[in-house]
Amino acid sequence: MLLISEYSGGHFFPAYTLACYLSKKTSVYLFVPSLFLKNMFFTKEFKIIGKQKEKREKGEFFYRFLEALRIILKVKPDVVIGFGGRISFPFILLSSLFGLRTAIYEPNTWWGKANYILRILAKRIYTGFDTISLSKAKRVGIPLHTSLKKYNSEEAKKSLGIDPSLICVLCLGGSQGSSFLNQLFKKLIEERKQKFGIIHLTGVKDFYFFQNFYGKIIKKDFFVKDFFKDMGLIYSATDIAITRAGALTIAELAYFRIPAIFIPYPKAGKHQLKNARYLVEKKAGFLVEQNKYTFSQVKRIFYQLLVDEDLKRKISDNLAGIKIYEKDDIFSDNIFKDIFS
């Protein structure tokens, strides 16, 4: 079996979760284009293949097309599953032309750009939300990794070097980081009117700048990393989040019932925007679109959340009613049984 991931964690982690599960039952190859993710999650349980790069390069799609052809002819997989993103496109297209069994996974409330086209070619479609209705679609949820453990909030804050009595705010730009979110959060810190704990996952590109920034300006009650594996500890310490609106992030926030301000990535084919709107309709989060007014809107909502405990509680209660997440073994078993039934 051949699984195709992408550069971002939202595409990679569901593929990685399924690969870990399937490796105990069958031969698995996981295509990983990201050098960072390969090094961070290297395993001997299954074969990681593909040419890894630090980041996406201009014109890479055409190189990946030739690579997809070479891998399919060499591996000769019985099933090929794409987990979204443009790199899945040549693998699913070529696999379909060769008559192989193909499937795609769409974790969002609506199609990403590549999956919108691939939905026609794929013989099976697995979804995260219940918002996509097709005869060949099956909802399997969004997987939560086994390591995503819930800790006591006060103990989690202490572990991260933050005063447990403080409200703790998380800025999360995704596995690749978001300079827009990082700079917005920096401005929020510089203009803060009251003290609060800070957790900031910056991504690799901006990490050293923010490590220096917090060390000089804040000095204590902050935790800054480029990437952190134990996200359960991070979420357990978090009271409010400012984040993009990828499906995996939303599932994790719903699981931990964390009120969040969502700022969707504007170039993601609008599916992040639709993800955030899904939560807003259920009164389980706030949506602020990325434009020249973003900071002022975020600032207003943020300070409202800081002082209004009833509001945070209502959002948390509403999040409890949104079960889009699934345990990793159940997610994987649902796909495995469907493929081999």
What is the residue-wise DSSP string for 17-50? HHHHHHTTTS--EEE--BHHHHHHT--SSSEEES
Same domain, 224 and 334: no
Range of the domain at 51: 2-141+326-339
225/133 same-domain check? no
For residue range 280-336, list pLDDT tens digits in order: 999 999 999 999 999 999 999 999 999 999 999 999 999 999 989 999 999 999 999
Question: Token match 């998380």: residue?
Answer: 170
Task: Evaluate whether 102 touches 89 at the Cβ level (below 8 Å).
Answer: no
Residue 194 and residue 318 in one domain: yes
Q: Say yes or no: 315 and 261 in one domain.
A: yes
Q: How far is CA 340 from CA 26, 58, 145, 211, in A?
A: 11, 38, 23, 49
Give yes or no: residues 205 and 56 share one domain: no
161 and 306 fall within a common domain: yes
**Tokens of residue 168, six digits:** 């703790």
Whether residues 167 and 301 share a domain: the answer is yes
pLDDT at 90 over 60: yes
Task: Name the band, by pLDDT with cuts 50, 70 and 90, for residue 95.
Answer: very high
The one-letter amino acid at 112: G
| Residue 39 Cα distances to 84, 143, 326, angstroms | 21, 22, 26
Question: CATH number for the domain including 61?
Answer: 3.40.50.2000
Q: Evaluate whether residue 290 is within a structural domain.
A: yes
By DSSP bridging, strand 286-287 and strand 2-4 are unpaired
Query: Tokens standing for 307?
Result: 């002082």
Residue 162 shares a structural domain with residue 250: yes
319 lies in some domain: yes
Q: Which of 114, 112, 113, 149 is nearest to 128 (CA)?
A: 112
- Give, in degrees to the nearest 5, the angle at Cα 62 between 57 and 67: 100
* Structural domains of the chain, count: 2
In the 8-state DSSP scheme, what is residue 79? E
Q: Specify whether 263 is located in the same domain as 241.
A: yes
Phi first, then psi, for residue 284 (nearest 5°) are -125, 20
Cα angle for residues 27, 246, 85 (degrees, 5° grid): 50
27 plus 46 within the same structural domain: yes
Task: Please tell me whether residues 183 and 314 are part of one structural domain.
Answer: yes
Same domain, 217 and 112: no
User: Per the domain annotation, does 147 fall within a domain?
Assistant: no
Confidence tier at 174 by pLDDT (50, 70, 90): low
For residue 148, tell me if it sits in a domain. no
**pLDDT digit string (tens) for 26-37?**
999 999 999 999
